[in-house]
Amino acid sequence: MTHSPAVRIDGKAFAAGVRGKVAARVARLREEHGITPGLAVVLVGEDPASAVYVRNKGIQTLEAGMASFEHRLPETTSEADLLALIARLNADPAVHGILVQLPLPPHLNADPVINAIAPAKDVDGFHILNVGLLGTGQKAMVPCTPLGCLMMLRDHLGDLAGLNAVVVGRSNIVGKPMAQLLLGESCTVTIAHSRTRDLASVCRGADILVAAVGRPEMIPGDWIKPGAVVIDVGINRVEREGRMRLVGDVDFASASLAAGAITPVPGGVGPMTIACLLANTLTACCRANGLPEPEGLTV
Ligand code: NDP
C-alpha cells in the first residue's frame, strides 16, 4: 500500500501563533483594565541548561508584553530561604505565575518547594492540588508541555473523542498529565512505560501516539498505524556524522512514511512549552482578576 508522506506539524509556527494570541490579550488587559500579567522565575544554582531556559523564558515573557521577574539564587540556598522567597511571590499581586526551574540542586527536595507555590500561581501545573484537579476533570493549571501537545492535536484533528491514544512514558511532568488530558477529550487512553509488554503492538493500535521517553529514535515507522498522528516529545542529543544533533523518541524518517501527521524534533513540541507557559500566566492573571479566560489557550 502506498501512502503519502505525513504532514509535518510545525510547532515553531504554531507556538508563534499562540504567543501572538497571548500578546494580543495582554495588550487588551493593559488597555481596558490597566493590568499587566507577571511571571516570576526562580533559578537556584548554575546549571547551564537551566540558565538558558530561564533566559529564554524571560525574553519571551517580555516580548508578550508581560512583566518578568527573575530570581537567581546561589547553589547553596537553603530550603527555608527558597520557601521564604516563594511566600513573598505568593503574596505579591504583581506576580500571577511562579515557576521554579527544575532540577533543583541535590540538597533541595522539589516536592515541598513546588507545593509551597500558591496553586493559582502554579503555572507549571505541578502542585499536588493542580494534579488532583486535572485528574478529577476540574479546572486546573495544566503542565505546559502536555498542554502544547493537546493544542496541536486539537488543531490537527478537531474532535478527539473515541480515538485510541497511546502515551509512551508515565512521568509526572509529561506522560501522566498528557494521558489525563486525552482522557478529558474522551480518547481511549493507554499509558505505556518501560515494563510494557510488546510495546510495538500497543503502539500499532494508536490513532494518536505521544512519545515521551527520552530514548533516541526508539519508535520505528513500522510501529505506527497508517495515518496516525504522532507527537514526539523526546529531546535527545546524539552524535551523527561527527556533529551533535537533536532527535526525538521517534525515527522521523521511517515514521513519516506511515503517519498522517508528525511533529519534528527540533521544531515540534519544544517551542510550544514556553508558549504554553505564557498562556498559563495569562490564564492565571485573568482568573486572579475575575476576567474571562483567554479563548483556545486553556482546557
Ligand atoms: P522521564 O525520564 O521522567 O520518563 C521517561 C518515561 O519513559 C518513564 O515513564 C519510563 O518508564 C519510560 N521509558 C523508559 N524507557 C522505556 C522503554 N524502553 N520503553 C517504554 N517506555 C520507556 O522523562 P520525561 O517525561 O521528563 O521526558 C521524556 C522526554 O521528553 C525526554 O526526552 C525529555 O527531554 C523530553 N521533554 C521535552 C520537553 C519539551 O519541551 N519538548 C519537556 C519535557 C520533557 P518507567 O516509568 O517504567 O521508568
Flag whether 125 is in a domain. Answer: no
**CATH, residue 56:** 3.40.50.10860
- C-alpha dist (Å) from residue 143 to 77, 93, 127, 254: 26, 22, 10, 30
How many angstroms is it from 248 CA to the middle of ligand 1?
A: 11
Question: For the residues 33-52, what does the mean pLDDT come to?
Answer: 96
Domain match, 94 and 42 both: yes
Cβ 213 under 6 angstroms from ligand 1: yes
Domain match, 75 and 150 both: no
Domain match, 172 and 252 both: yes
122: left (phi over 0), alpha (psi -120 to 50) or beta: beta
Domain match, 187 and 236 both: yes
User: How distant is the alpha carbon of residue 96 from its chain centre?
Assistant: 18
Flag whether 296 is in a domain. Answer: no
Report the distance separating Cα 156 and Cα 261, nearest Å: 8
Say if residue 242 is exposed, middle or buried (CB neighbours under 10 Å; 0-12, 13-18, 19+). Answer: exposed
Flag whether 164 is in a domain. Answer: yes
Task: Match 481511549 to its residue by C-alpha cell.
Answer: 188
Domain match, 112 and 154 both: no
Flag whether 132 is in a domain. Answer: no
- C-alpha dist (Å) from residue 279 to 151, 192, 217, 250: 11, 29, 30, 27
Instruction: Give the model confidence (pLDDT) of 151-205 as tens digits.
Output: 999 999 999 999 999 999 999 999 999 999 999 999 999 999 999 999 999 999 9
Contact partners, residue 121, CB within 8 Å, separation at least 6: 89, 90, 95, 96, 97, 98, 284
Contact partners, residue 13, CB within 8 Å, separation at least 6: none
Cβ 152 under 6 angstroms from ligand 1: no
Flag whether 293 is in a domain. Answer: no
Instruction: Give the model confidence (pLDDT) of 79-135 as tens digits.
Output: 999 999 999 999 999 999 999 999 999 999 999 999 999 999 999 999 999 999 999
Share of the chain above pLDDT 90, in %: 98
Domain match, 88 and 154 both: no
Mutate to test the pocket of ligand 1, among 101, 191, 194 (most ligand atoms within 8 A of CB): 194
How many angstroms is it from 173 CA to the middle of ligand 1?
A: 9
Question: Can you give the pTM of this predicted structure?
Answer: 0.97
Domain match, 114 and 147 both: no
Domain match, 150 and 261 both: yes
**CATH, residue 236:** 3.40.50.720
Q: Is 165 helix (H, G, I), strand (E, B) or coil?
A: strand
Instruction: Give the model confidence (pLDDT) of 209-241 as tens digits.
Output: 999 999 999 999 999 999 999 999 999 999 999
Domain match, 160 and 104 both: no
Cβ 219 under 6 angstroms from ligand 1: no
Question: For the residues 70-74, what does the mean pLDDT come to?
Answer: 97
Binned at pLDDT 50, 70 and 90, residue 5 comes out as confident
Q: What is the mean pLDDT of the chain?
A: 97
Flag whether 183 is in a domain. Answer: yes
Q: Which of 190, 182, 187, 192 is nearest to 218 (CA)?
A: 192
Residue from 121, 122, 124, 249 carrying the catalytic annotation: 124
Binned at pLDDT 50, 70 and 90, residue 2 comes out as low
Indicate if 57 belongs to the active site: yes
Domain match, 178 and 237 both: yes
Range of the domain at 82: 33-118
**For the chain, how many structural domains are there in total?**
2
Flag whether 295 is in a domain. Answer: no
Q: Is the pLDDT of residue 3 over 80?
A: no
Flag whether 165 is in a domain. Answer: yes
